[in-house]
């Protein structure tokens, strides 16, 4: 459990991100949900007005009050705990996606634009944690950030792309 909490805290540390790798830059820039995904495996995030497919084999961890204060709304892991999907929703006032891009770029990162089911997102790696984050802002100035790890696991990287491609409005 301490290892998982450590992952959650580490993933929240956007301030120590590194530059986009060449491999990351070559990835697909537009993703669309697969209509064949089991509807019962979609998780709804009413705070952000979105839903996302998460494999039934992934378990949802209980979040502490401290986790929620930091903005976590969900955290899923594979049965062995080796793969993780963290979901954060943070109120940011009137911050736009372009403002968030500027924040990320200030940290020395060049995020890339990704369109997911018609919505504009930013994607950027967190290389020291072998993770990638996707960020979206809405009209209510909430940032929905989804972080997936480990991206060096080719099987999980393919699964992560399916998970991210499934994100869509409620």
What pLDDT, on a 0 to 100 scale, did the predictor assign at position 36?
A: 67
What pLDDT, on a 0 to 100 scale, did the predictor assign at position 148?
A: 95
What pLDDT, on a 0 to 100 scale, did the predictor assign at position 18?
A: 28
Model-level pTM?
A: 0.78
Number of domains in the chain: 1
What pLDDT, on a 0 to 100 scale, did the predictor assign at position 86?
A: 96
> Which region, left, alpha or beta, applies to residue 128 given φ > 0 means left and ψ of -120 to 50 means alpha?
alpha
Which domain covers residue 130, as residue numbers? 2-169
Q: CA 112, CA 99: separation in Å to the nearest integer?
A: 14
Nearest to 47 by CA among 95, 96, 88, 85: 88
What pLDDT, on a 0 to 100 scale, did the predictor assign at position 5?
A: 33
**Mean pLDDT per 10-residue segment, the chain (170 residues):** 34 30 43 64 90 94 95 95 94 82 88 92 90 87 91 89 91
Q: Per this entry, what is the length of the chain? A: 170
Q: CA 47, CA 72: separation in Å to the nearest integer?
A: 11
Give the CATH number, domain containing residue 80: 3.40.1000.10
What pLDDT, on a 0 to 100 scale, did the predictor assign at position 1?
A: 33
């Amino acid at each position: 459990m301490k290892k998982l909490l450590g992952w959650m805290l580490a993933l929240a540390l956007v301030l120590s991100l590194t530059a986009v790798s060449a491999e990351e830059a070559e990835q697909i820039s537009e993703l669309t949900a697969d209509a064949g995904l089991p509807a019962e495996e979609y998780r709804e995030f009413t705070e952000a007005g979105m839903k996302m497919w998460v494999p039934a084999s992934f378990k949802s961890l209980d979040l502490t009050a401290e986790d929620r204060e930091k903005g976590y709304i969900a955290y899923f892991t594979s049965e062995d705990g080796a793969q993780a999907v963290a979901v954060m929703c943070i109120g940011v006032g009137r911050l736009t996606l372009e403002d968030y891009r500027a924040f990320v770029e200030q940290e020395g990162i060049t995020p890339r634009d990704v369109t997911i089911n018609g919505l504009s997102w930013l994607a950027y790696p967190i290389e020291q944690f072998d993770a990638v984050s996707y960020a979206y802002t809405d009209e209510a100035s909430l940032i929905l950030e989804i972080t997936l790890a480990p991206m060096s696991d080719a099987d999980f990287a393919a699964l992560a792309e399916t998970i991210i491609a499934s994100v869509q409005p409620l």
